[in-house]
């Protein structure tokens, strides 16, 4: 029996098991690209309008930080590639990470791989099948993206290059995740470390793209953008990600032979034989369970905030003698350009932080579905105290996460300009978004309290808020739809002044949602 025996059967089995998941990722990314492309086409129908926006964007540090290097922005293809930018690549990276983890480490942690390897299945078959499945997904994404862009009469070579830029990024993160899945036996660590690498890739290329672009060569997202779709393709740039993918996949292959099934290369350390003093209440437990995730989110957003803070002073230099930019930022009502920049970044960081607020609250869903909640609810812990413990972590945790990211922005900016007078205002700008973030927590809690199976729909609400915040202008979303997002209703500091009323109203809505969520959880069966 060879090490590959059963690979084909495992691939068929994988498709059968994960078809919905696979379809959602593939169509989600394809639709994101198509909608953005169509909107950009509508928004800038003439070469003149394209030239105008290109002139605006190429010196706009905020836009470059979020989207990528300014490459041929005066062409429709270049502008589309810029607008989908890093966001699309991040989605492809996350798809590869979560799908590969799903096919490998999750299966192993649940003991299902053992079941398969006991049959006529080779030692390497599960990993090989998983890599083939995820690579196939990336191929489908690339073909759909390239095909739909070419169908919109965009240049064929550029469309192919754009599809390939997605494909190779997916390939690189498939390889990275395959290695991580061999090193640790813990699925959460696999996801966390790989997602952190996506964040680092994003930050490295953001810093690189603002400067001379050299730093971007350290980032897989940067590699994909160096391919320059629609901007005089540099096909040779493909060699770097392909080589990286080959290296990581080979490493994963070798590591598979050096570890036991079910274990990682790194053995878990023994734990404590008695519990520390904090582990004596539902709240203590909830903090303990979410500690790793809270630290991860805090560090990630701290670094991201710091990155934005470190480029804040360059805005003025960029725009000093650029009238169009001045016009663009005039929309912010006479605020300085630096303020306008930090207003945009504050919103972005708060939107990302909203992800923590939902993930943290939804921890309760997993606790209940694995019957661990039952162990606690059979002790003298009330339902409100139990679900409330995760609510408190979500609410206080989001204060920490947003506070730190604001602090990261403010402190690095302060260091660069040698003046910390704007620190309170920059941190305040971030904290003003807290009630909006809490609404996301409230929505998650209410859904969970009513129908726990539907609680994951909170991610749908998050996607709407995220897309409306990041791509709202590009997609030309209707006003009423954008108005649904609490982030749009929050006073946008520091360019605008703090207003008490909207913040109070948003807070009140969040409190009502949470109270309703708690009340409905008290009434229903567990497990429902």
Partner 1 sequence: MTVTIELEGLVKTFGSTRALDGLDLSVGEGTVHGFLGPNGSGKTTTIRVLLGLLRADSGRATLFGGDPWREAVTLHRRLAYVPGDVNLWPKLSGGEVIDLLGRLRGDLDNRRRTELLDRFELDPRKKARTYSKGNRQKVALVAALASSAELLILDEPTSGLDPIMEAVFQDCIREIKAEGRTVLLSSHILAEVEALCDGVSIIRAGKTVQSGTLTDLRHLTRTAITADTVQAPTGLDQLRGVHGLQVDNHRARFDVDTDHLDEAMRALTKLGLRSLTSQPPTLEELFLRHYGDELARDGVALESAEEVAR
Binders of partner 1 among residues 342 to 371 (CB under 8 A) are 370-371
- The correct pick among 24, 115, 275, 519 for binding partner 1 (CB under 8 A) is 275
- The correct pick among 139, 376, 399, 400 for binding partner 1 (CB under 8 A) is 376
Min dist CB 370 to partner 1, Å, is 5
Dist CA 221 CA 201 (whole Å): 6
Q: Which is nearer to partner 1, 83 or 184 (CB)?
A: 184
Binders of partner 1 among residues 381 to 410 (CB under 8 A) are 381-383
- The correct pick among 114, 257, 320, 374 for binding partner 1 (CB under 8 A) is 374
Instruction: Give the contact letters, 98-117, x = binds to partner 1 (CB under 8 A), - = no.
Output: -----------x--------
Binders of partner 1 among residues 185 to 244 (CB under 8 A) are 185-186
The stretch among 9-17, 92-100, 272-280, 506-514 that binds partner 1 (CB under 8 A) is 272-280
Q: Which is nearer to partner 1, 316 or 374 (CB)?
A: 374
Least Cα distance to 83 among 358, 429, 472, 418 occurs for: 472
CB 465 within 8 A of CB 354: yes
- The correct pick among 212, 321, 479, 525 for binding partner 1 (CB under 8 A) is 525
Residue 118, interface with partner 1 (CB under 8 A)? no
Q: Which is nearer to partner 1, 274 or 418 (CB)?
A: 274
Tokens of 141: 């994404």
Residue 271, interface with partner 1 (CB under 8 A)? yes
Q: Which is nearer to partner 1, 52 or 288 (CB)?
A: 288
| Angle CA 28–163–22, to nearest 5 | 35
Binders of partner 1 among residues 241 to 270 (CB under 8 A) are 268, 270
List, in order, residues 6 or more apart from 104 with CB less than 8 Å away: 113, 126, 127, 130, 177, 178, 181
Q: Which is nearer to partner 1, 211 or 292 (CB)?
A: 292
Residue 273, interface with partner 1 (CB under 8 A)? yes
Q: Is the peptide bond before 527 cis (omega within 30 degrees of 0)?
A: yes
- The correct pick among 46, 119, 379, 421 for binding partner 1 (CB under 8 A) is 379
Q: Which residues of 78-91 are buried (b: 16+ CB within 10 A; e: fewer)?
A: bbbbbbbbbbbbbb
Dist CA 383 CA 25 (whole Å): 35
- Distances in Å between the Cα of 26 and the Cα atoms of 162, 170, 280, 354 are 16, 12, 44, 24
Residue 511, interface with partner 1 (CB under 8 A)? no
Q: Which is nearer to partner 1, 317 or 382 (CB)?
A: 382
Q: Which is nearer to partner 1, 360 or 432 (CB)?
A: 360
Least Cα distance to 312 among 182, 168, 206, 179 occurs for: 206
Min dist CB 450 to partner 1, Å, is 16
Residue 375, interface with partner 1 (CB under 8 A)? yes
Binders of partner 1 among residues 277 to 316 (CB under 8 A) are 279-282, 285, 288-289, 292
155 sits in the region (left: phi over 0; alpha: psi -120 to 50; else beta) called beta
Min dist CB 372 to partner 1, Å, is 5
Tokens of 117: 């390897």
Min dist CB 107 to partner 1, Å, is 15
CA dihedral 46, 52, 54, 56 (to 10 degrees): -150
Dist CA 137 CA 284 (whole Å): 41
Tokens 């084909």 belong to which residue? 8
Binding-site size for partner 1 (CB under 8 A) equals: 35
List, in order, residues 6 or more apart from 11 with CB less than 8 Å away: 129, 132, 133
Dist CA 448 CA 396 (whole Å): 19
Min dist CB 378 to partner 1, Å, is 4
Min dist CB 483 to partner 1, Å, is 39
Min dist CB 393 to partner 1, Å, is 14
Residue 380, interface with partner 1 (CB under 8 A)? yes
CA dihedral 25, 31, 36, 42 (to 10 degrees): 180
Residue ranges of the alpha helices (H) in 420-485? 423-431, 434-450, 458-470, 472-475, 479-483
Residue 518, interface with partner 1 (CB under 8 A)? no
Dist CA 28 CA 103 (whole Å): 20
Instruction: Give the contact letters, 150-189, x = binds to partner 1 (CB under 8 A), - = no.
Output: -----------------------------------xx---
Min dist CB 276 to partner 1, Å, is 8
Q: Which is nearer to partner 1, 243 or 375 (CB)?
A: 375
CB 296 within 8 A of CB 219: no
List of residues contacting partner 1 (CB under 8 A) = 109, 185-186, 268, 270-276, 279-282, 285, 288-289, 292, 370-372, 374-383, 525-527
């Amino acid at each position: 029996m060879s090490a590959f025996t059963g690979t084909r059967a495992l691939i068929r089995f994988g498709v059968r098991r994960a078809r919905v998941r696979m379809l959602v990722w593939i169509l989600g990314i394809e639709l994101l690209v198509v909608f953005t492309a169509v909107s950009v086409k509508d928004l800038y129908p003439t070469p003149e309008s394209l030239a105008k926006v290109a002139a605006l964007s190429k010196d706009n540090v905020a836009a470059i930080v979020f989207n990528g290097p300014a490459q041929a922005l005066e062409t429709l293809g270049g502008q589309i590639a810029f607008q989908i930018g890093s966001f699309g690549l991040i989605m492809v990276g996350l798809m590869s990470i979560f799908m590969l983890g799903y096919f490998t480490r999750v299966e192993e942690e649940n003991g299902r791989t053992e079941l398969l390897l006991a049959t006529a299945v080779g030692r390497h078959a599960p990993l090989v099948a998983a890599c083939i499945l995820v690579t196939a997904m990336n191929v489908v994404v690339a073909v759909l993206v390239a095909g739909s862009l070419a169908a919109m009469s965009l240049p064929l070579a550029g469309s192919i290059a754009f599809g390939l830029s997605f494909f190779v990024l997916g390939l690189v993160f498939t390889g990275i995740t395959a290695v991580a899945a061999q090193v640790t036996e813990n699925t959460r660590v696999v996801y966390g470390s790989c997602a952190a690498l996506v964040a680092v890739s994003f930050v490295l290329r953001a810093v690189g793209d603002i400067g001379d672009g050299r730093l971007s060569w350290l980032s897989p997202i940067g590699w994909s953008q160096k391919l320059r779709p629609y901007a005089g393709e540099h096909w040779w740039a493909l060699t770097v990600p392909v080589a990286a993918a080959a290296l990581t996949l080979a490493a994963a292959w070798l590591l598979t032979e050096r570890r036991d099934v079910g274990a990682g290369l790194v053995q878990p350390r023994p734990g404590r034989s008695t519990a520390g003093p904090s582990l004596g209440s539902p709240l203590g437990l909830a903090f303990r369970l979410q500690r790793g995730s809270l630290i991860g989110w805090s560090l990630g957003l701290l670094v991201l905030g710091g990155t934005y803070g470190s480029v804040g002073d360059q805005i003025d230099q960029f725009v000093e003698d650029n009238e169009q930019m001045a016009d663009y930022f005039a929309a912010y009502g006479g605020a300085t350009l630096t303020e306008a920049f930090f207003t945009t970044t504050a919103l972005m960081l708060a939107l990302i932080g909203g992800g923590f607020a939902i993930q943290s609250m939804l921890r309760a869903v997993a606790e209940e579905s694995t019957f661990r909640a039952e162990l606690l609810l059979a002790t003298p812990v009330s339902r409100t105290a139990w679900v409330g413990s995760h609510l408190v972590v979500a609410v206080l945790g989001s204060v920490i996460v947003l506070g730190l990211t604001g602090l990261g922005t403010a402190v690095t900016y302060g260091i660069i300009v040698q003046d910390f007078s704007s620190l309170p205002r920059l941190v305040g700008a971030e904290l003003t978004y807290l009630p909006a973030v809490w609404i996301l927590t409230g929505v998650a809690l209410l859904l969970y309290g009513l129908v726990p199976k539907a609680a994951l729909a909170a991610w749908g609400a998050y996607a709407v808020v995220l897309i409306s915040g990041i791509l709202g202008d590009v997609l030309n979303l209707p006003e009423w739809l954008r108005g649904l997002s609490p982030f749009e209703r929050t006073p946008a500091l520091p360019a605008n002044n703090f207003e008490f009323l909207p913040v109070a109203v948003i807070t009140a809505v969040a409190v009502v949602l949470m109270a309703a969520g708690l009340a409905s959880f008290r009434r229903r069966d567990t497990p429902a």
